[in-house]
Structure 1
């Protein structure tokens, strides 16, 4: 995947989740097999907060 695209998630996506999923294998490299990433688990439990990329306002009228 293009690194620029990986660092700029589409509207409606979480910046951290997108980065962890697509940008860098280094993020999860330190984890053992089948070990959960603490940051990813925190986002699943507590939500994404202000990390969501805002969607553009719909204007079809």
Structure 2
């Protein structure tokens, strides 16, 4: 089955790592993907900060 195409406005790397199971197949249980970790540390250009909660 071919991976789903990236939707407009979505990060291609995040999308591929979420839907292509072959990327994470070699990881051990509980092991983090180094590419995902590095992508999140250096910042995903498509992530936007959440609005502050106005509950109180």
Flag structure 2 segments of 5+ consecutive residues without an equivalent: 47-56
Alpha-carbon distance in structure 2 between the residues aligned to 1:3 and 1:32: 24
Aligned partner of 1:56 in structure 2 is: none
What is the number of residues matched between the two proteins? Answer: 46
Deviation at 1:34, TM superposition (A): 0.9
CA-atom RMSD, angstroms?
1.9
Q: TM-score, normalised by structure 2?
A: 0.66
Alpha-carbon distance in structure 1 between the residues aligned to 2:36 and 2:8: 19
Aligned partner of 2:54 in structure 1 is: none
- Bigger helix share: 1
Flag structure 1 segments of 5+ consecutive residues without an equivalent: 53-61
> Where in structure 1 do 4 or more consecutive aligned residues deviate above 2 Å?
none
